[in-house]
Chains A and B, each alone.
Chain A
Amino acid sequence: MNQRPFHWLKLRRLPFWRGGAARPDSAEFSRLFDEVGEAAGVLKDSEAGLEAQFLAIGTELERMAGYGNAFVTQVEKLVGLATGKDCDSTIFNNPVGLIERSTEFLEDCQRRTDALVTLLRAYRDQIRELLGTEAALRRTMLPLRFVQVLFKVECAPLNTEIQQLFSSLTEEIESLQGQMRDIFGTNFQKLEQTRDSLEQVIRQLERQESTLRAALATHKSRIGDTLAELRRELDSNQQREVQLNHLSRAVAREVEQVVISLQFQDIVHQKLQHVTAELPRMQARFSEFVGARQEAALSEPMQYLWQSCRLQGGQIEAAREELLRAEAGIKSGIGNVLGQLRELDSRCLSLEEFQLLTTSGDGMVQVLVETLEEVRKLMGESVACAATAHEMLRPLGSLASNLTVIARELAARIHLFGLNAQVQAAQVANGTQGAGLAILSLRTSEICGETNRISEQAAEHLDAMAAGLANCVREFGTLRSEAAAQESSLGQESLAQERVLHAFRDNCLETLRAIGGSLDGIREHAHQTLETIQFTAFCQGILPGLQKPLLNIADSANRWLEDRGCTVKDAHLIEGLKKDYTMASEREVFERLTSSGELFPDSPNPPPRSAEDFELFDALPTSMEGAEPDRKDTGATISPTAPVAPDEPASNVELF
């Protein structure tokens, strides 16, 4: 409000008494008005400083409130992330599902490999048996050597032709023995190599099976534990969410309260403006007093001065109380904000469980990422193992088949040899001479039959083994290709899931960093506000500086009036003074003074602000208009304002 400067010096030039007795008390009033003028000048200058201070604090608080609002939003986001509200709730479920599917596949591979290993062990045992067959064959064919000698003995007395016949038979026997040695020597040696290869494959598969089994058990257990923990954390996050939201909103509310406390500057400013506006009127009344020509005209301006100075002193006191209350409110509010930030730090944001779920280096995200990596590695090892087994077994299948063919050929030739011997013996049969040959031929045929039986049996075993090994090779081939396909699919899918998990953790980290930034911002501006706020000097120096001369004028006026026996109960005068008071708290001071006559009631606590002050602040013109009929209604009979309950200001604040 622009007020015309109050020209106190004019008072000095006024004639104190025109045409009557000198008025010595005018000098005292004049000196007091000088003091008022000086103090009003200081007040005006200081008000500018105070306003600048309010503006600085307002800026700090505005920034603090900005951080407070951002903080609430960030906390809500973090809570949303941790409880799976904001993000896709399958963020953990997808990788877990992938790990479970891959684990199931690996377990299936493990079962199939187990079955194949069992088969390979059986083939290994069969080879051992076949290797035993070699010795049996040798034992079976050993008598042929003696038969050969006996044939020579039996043929000796016979003619040359028969001798040659059986000689060729014995040569065939020798050849057969040689071939037998070669075939069994070479092929059973290969069979031994096959057995060794099988042993090697079995050992490798057993080793891998053991590693895979242990790794799968570990992963399943780890994933199981992690999932259980996830469920626990999600449950407890519901409660934590309530705590976090409650605390973060409490911080924002406190910041808001602090901002509201600051808004009392307008109320104070308005009160002081009313005081300043009254000063020229007092000057005018004092001029009337000084210029009065009749004794009767002296009393009225003096009454006015007495009442007005008391009232303005009261308003200054009320403004001082408002300021002190605002300072206390801001400081207390900031103290609460800082306390709640500490609470948030210790109870919510630093919670290990919360970090475990979102960002921790040994938490949910990390476990899933590592498990995905390890499952991928296991799948790779499984593929490599299946490929190695397949490559190692493949030649074994064909080796077994060759051996079967050779064994069958051998058996057939042995069979023919036996039959030939019998036929030749029958042809040369001649009484007692041929009887020996017949016995030898029969024995030869029996030996050949036995050899044939053993060879056939070996061939059957070899056939079965060859077929089985071929199946094993095929199965390993299938396993290999399925595992390779699974590995490829897992590779792509798991990398995608890892990216999602990393993005989630980055998001959480970013939110936590933003929360940290907001908390720092709130702290910084809170401390800055505490450093800036300096209302005490204004309340203890400037305002009393103006209040004191005004009250002195009131005292002097009172003495002047008492000396002349004047009573100050002029309703018209009081009503005139009242009309400028538009604020509820101003009217309250006014009514207290005019009804009790006491300037400062003996109350330990200053009266709380009326709700109407806030209404005025919010919508000043409307309230001012609304206040006018009220003043008219009250008329000369001023009723005291109803006392306001001490807890009402809180609800008044809610009006904002």
Chain B
Amino acid sequence: MTHFSMKTQISQEHDVLTLRVPGDLISTNAEAYRTEVARRMEGGGVAGQDWKTFVVDLKAAQMVDSVGLNLIVTWIKWVRDRGGKMRVVCSGGNVLRTFKFTRLDKHVELVEG
């Protein structure tokens, strides 16, 4: 499991909560992100603070695999259940194509950054 520091990766400005993924979102690290984000959002950290938009910043990612997509879908549902909006920022290329092939661009706001 990949170890990373989440403190610098989840931040909130006004009503926008941003998760910055520093690399690929793939099977080797997806579970760590799932656990950590759930802990931070529901158990402490940013929990309780008002946010309306959850931004997943994948600009540094070259690849999102099936397990990573599964996690994105989980977050989409989670955010939708809370009445929020989700936005994914990517640098184009493979990640953008992946979102289009999986039709996730119809479920989230997809921004090329």
Contact = CB atoms under 8 A, between A and B. Distances in A.
B102 A369 contact: no
A196 B40 CA distance: 39
A360 B65 contact: no
Given A505-B66, A506-B66, A509-B102, A361 B73 contact: yes
A143 to B, nearest CB: 66
Interface string B88-104: 00000010011001111
A361 to B, nearest CB: 4
Please classify the interface of chain B as helix (H, G, I), strand (E, B), loop, or mixed, using the class held by over half of its residues.
helix
Contacts of A352: 103
B97 A513 contact: yes
B16 interface: no
A170 interface: no
Interface in A117-159: none
Given A360-B102, A361-B104, A369 B97 contact: no
Interface in A330-382: 352, 355, 359-363, 365-366, 369-370
B110 to A, nearest CB: 12
Interface residues of B, number: 17
A614 to B, nearest CB: 41
Given A513-B94, A516-B97, A361 B103 contact: yes
A355 B72 CA distance: 17
B58 to A, nearest CB: 15
Contact of A509 (B72, B73, B101): B101
B70 A366 contact: yes
B109 to A, nearest CB: 14
A502 B67 contact: yes
B36 to A, nearest CB: 18
Main SS of the interface on chain A? helix
B103 A505 contact: no
Interface string B49-82: 0000000000000000111011011001000000
Contacts of B76: 361
B70 A362 contact: no
A370 B103 CA distance: 17
Given A509-B98, A509-B102, A513-B97, A361 B66 contact: no
Given A352-B103, A355-B102, A361 B69 contact: yes
Contacts of A365: 66
B52 to A, nearest CB: 22
A361 B65 CA distance: 12
A502 B104 contact: no
B39 interface: no
Interface of B: 27, 65-67, 69-70, 72-73, 76, 94, 97-98, 101-104, 107
18 contacts: A355-B101, A355-B102, A359-B102, A360-B102, A360-B103, A361-B69, A361-B102, A362-B73, A362-B107, A365-B66, A370-B70, A370-B73, A502-B27, A502-B66, A503-B66, A506-B65, A512-B97, A513-B94
